[in-house]
Structure 1
Amino acid sequence: MRALFKWVLRIALMLVLAAAVVGFWKREEIQRLMAVNSLFSPEKIVHNFSHMDAAFKTVNLPRGDGATWELPYGPGFDLPAGTDQWIEDRSVTSLLVMQGGQIRFEEYYLGTTPDDRRISWSVAKSYLSALFGILLDEGAIASLDDPVVQYVPKLQGTAYDGTTIRNVLNMASGVTFNEDYLDYNSDINRMGRVVALGRELDDFAASLQDSFATPGEIWKYVSIDTHVIGMVVRGATGRSVAELLTERIVQPLGLERDGYYVTDGAGVAFVLGGLNFTTRDYARFGQMILQNGVHDGQQLVPAEWIAASVLPSAPTASGKIGYGYQWWIPVGAHEGEFMARGVYGQYIYFDQPRGVLIVSTGADRKFRDPGVNEINIEMFRKIAQSL
């Protein structure tokens, strides 16, 4: 009996040791998975959105040694009635309003500061669009009507075989992808776990086999389309998106701080939502776009590309919000009114005729409630019109 007890004890100790070894070996994956599971919890969301580099693999986007683009302060103004309540209701963490290249209002909330590098979520898609336009203009990519598999052979035989670059830019690939953030088993959340566990998003994209529509026929917002744009960029240039974005956009803009991308396990940038910059540095990018791609006398992004990108060219439903090449166009928009938008309340709003740019970051856990996006757009319009 004593021998049996010793044998059982020895086995138990071996199992505990094995579990400890596996836990140590997989500790980073476990920590990242735990971070994903609590990323949006009420008590952590504001902090997490300013510290994504503490939970995920990242790649730096160095600002370089160039001079900082100074954003001068213009005269202050009174925000329109209802703004304070909107800031509270929408869990806004920063609000920066520019007009004519001057900061007219800047404030930070819920304990955030000007130095916080906030997660962009899908605002990152519009950055990728700008980079894509540069590469298209340079001839690295021949045509928007080229099939994606011409640049990404890995997608041959998948749901993306038969889609064009224009289709994925327009979010009209027809690829079946569940973007429900509230469904644990949705594709968007499974993709998040791919990033958390250090696996590869290229493999995830290549695993998609089903389509619900002919490419170009129906608009449906599926973030994996943006990852495929990133795959096209990498396939066309043989370089990483992080390197190209740093070289062509980040360093020429004269940012205050380095930025960074969240990456997957292969070091591939999470281009559909993984950018992290300060609010002012988002404003620097936005001001360059507002100026039709020009900064400091240099044409960083082709003006023709910006103009084409912000047209509602995607096959969206009549009377609904429009979509271009990774940019949003509000219902009833006047010429030169468009925006970059990310989940949980991230926005860069443009009113070109008024020379107005608004950057807003947030931690709004009710961002998907009916009418919230419309409320936000109406607030931006009120602010722009009050200047």
Structure 2
Amino acid sequence: MSDTPLMNLHWSRGYTDPAWVRRYTTSERELLPSRRVWRGPGPARSVPADIADVGRITFTTPGGRAVPLRELLEAAQTDALLVLHRGDLVYETYPHGLQPHDPHFNASAAKSYMGLMAAALIYEGALDREATASKYVPELAGTAFGDSTVDHLLHMGTQVSYGGRPFDKPVEAQRYFAVIAPSLRPYGYSGPGSIREHLATARATAAPGTEFRYENGNVETLAEILRRVTGATTSGLLSDMVWSRIGADEDAYYVLDSEGAEAACGGFSATARDVARLGEMIRCGGAVGEQQIVPSAVIADITNAPEGYARHVRFPAAPPTAPANLSYHDLWWILNDGHGSFMASGIHGQRLFISPELETVIVHYGSQVMSPAVPAAPLVPAFQQIATHLQRTR
């Protein structure tokens, strides 16, 4: 018997109950094995505060109704909202009791952090964008991911079927969670017990580079490539390349599978303030003060999405009727808003919004339910409106 119905019953509760979602977004590292991303030995970098009147902004919903920020945050089941403008902290709120020092699940926003490291290694010549994944991970030869290039992985360009099943994104997301967390496996589960085993079941259903398909396996394959290239764990690599160099106040964490591999595509937790520090480093061209953390050319290239299958796309949860007005490059969402804005995005409302032209960084953490009966809060238009307002008034 297929385990899909049982898994759908389990996850239908999880996706539609904000209290259940919040339990995992705020305490994931306490429920699963985890490995820290060390913040480094130095002092935390201070973030000057200059509070602005962001809370007074009203936003227009897709239905044309004007709502205050408070109502928008309620609809998004917001756990944290933090806004930086020109490096100043202008707004910060934690509506459901999360503390500034508490780490929070980043979900798929963590994909973009992997993209940042991969792009830096490509720039440095340690990684070949056009090489197939199997060059670095030979045991993936003959699989959908092994036969794809690094560039395909960075643009969600694989067409894959796991274990002979017809591809269905929600089902495959549930299957991935079952691989990571034994407690989420239905009775009688006999599938892969690790990320590595999961990737080995992937077979191509079309040539890579022909269509954008948002799929976790691309990022897990990329993470394994980076581990092979550098000899470091994903946690150690992020600490060495970024986290220990941005003045983070707290360690971050990745959850681990049964073999001790990080869940790189979404098992990352960190405080909102430290993710804001990451975003500010990126907004400033990869630099923190006088220290260059990520090559400026890598940062400048984030919004240079190539022509092709990743040029006109929509968010995974968007309805098919939504306009495909986004681009996707090196695991970042490009908003094409006329201000050079881009974003890391994860399920349940995790966002890192960066607008270099509007000099704004916004971090949003949420426990928003995933249900057709509950329309998603219009977070991206709200971020754009906040950034525009701040640029006009400060």
Normalising by structure 1, report the TM-score: 0.84
- Whether 1:123 and 2:109 are equivalent positions in the alignment is yes
Question: Which structure is higher in helix share?
Answer: 1
- Residue of structure 1 equivalent to 2:150: 165
**Residues 269-289 of structure 1: per-residue CA shift (max 9 Å, x gap):** 111001110000110111011
Residue among 379, 382, 386 paired with 2:382: 379
Q: How many Å apart are 1:209 and its aligned residue?
A: 1.6
Establish whether residue 306 from structure 1 lines up as the match of residue 295 from structure 2: no
The answer for the alignment partner of 1:362 in structure 2 is 366
Secondary structure (helix, strand or coil) at the match of 1:245 reads helix
Q: Which letter maps to 1:171?
A: M
The answer as to 2:99 corresponding to 1:113 is yes
Question: One-letter code of the match for 2:388?
Answer: Q
User: What runs of 5+ residues in structure 2 fail to find an aligned partner?
Assistant: 1-9, 59-66, 184-192, 314-322
User: What CA distance in whole angstroms lies between the structure 1 residues aligned with 2:72 and 2:370?
Assistant: 13
How far 1:367 sits from its partner (Å)? 6.9
SS of 1:266's partner is coil
> 1:174, CA displacement in angstroms?
2.1
Describe the shift of the 1:276–1:74 C-alpha distance in structure 2 as closer, same or farther (beyond 3 A).
same
Cα offset for 1:38? Answer: 7.0
Match of 1:51 in 2: 27
- Aligned-pair identity in percent equals 26
The equivalences for 1:294-333 within 5 A come to 294-313=287-306, 315-316=309-310, 317=312, 320=324, 321-330=326-335, 332-333=336-337
Question: Structure 1: which amino acid aligns with 2:329?
Answer: G
Rounded Cα–Cα distance in structure 2 between residues aligned with 1:285 and 1:265 = 29
Partner of 1:250: 243
Counterpart of 2:318? none
CA deviations 1:141-193 (Å, max 9, x no partner) are 1x211111111101101122431110110001222364633xxxx12211111
Pairs within 5 Å for 1:194-209: 194-197=179-182, 199-209=193-203
Aligned residues: 346
Separation in 1 of the partners of 2:226 and 2:198? 17
Q: How far off its partner does 1:385 sit?
A: 1.2
Mapped to 2, the partners of 1:106 and 1:75 lie a distance apart of: 9
Would the aligned equivalents of 2:100 and 2:273 in 1 still touch at CA under 8 Å? yes
Amino acid of the residue matched to residue 357 of structure 2? Answer: P
Q: Write the distance in 2 (CA, Å) between the matches of 1:261 and 1:36.
A: 22
* Alpha-carbon shift at residue 39 of structure 1 (Å): 5.4
Q: Determine the C-alpha separation between the residues in 2 that align with 1:179 and 1:243.
A: 33
Deviation at 1:324, TM superposition (A): 0.8
Matched, 1:144 2:148: no
User: Offset at 1:112?
Assistant: 1.7
Asked if 1:261 corresponds to 2:254, the answer is yes
CA radius of gyration, larger in: 1
SS at match of 1:59: strand
RMSD, aligned α-carbons: 2.3
- Supply the distance in 1 between the matched residues of 2:333 and 2:131 (Cα, whole angstroms): 23
Stretches of structure 1 that go unaligned for 5 or more consecutive residues are 1-34
Query: Using the alignment, how far apart are the partners of 2:202 and 2:295 within structure 1?
Result: 33
When residues 61 and 158 of structure 1 are mapped into structure 2, their CA distance, relative to the original with a 3 A threshold, is same
Q: Is the 8 A contact 2:25 2:104 kept in 1?
A: yes
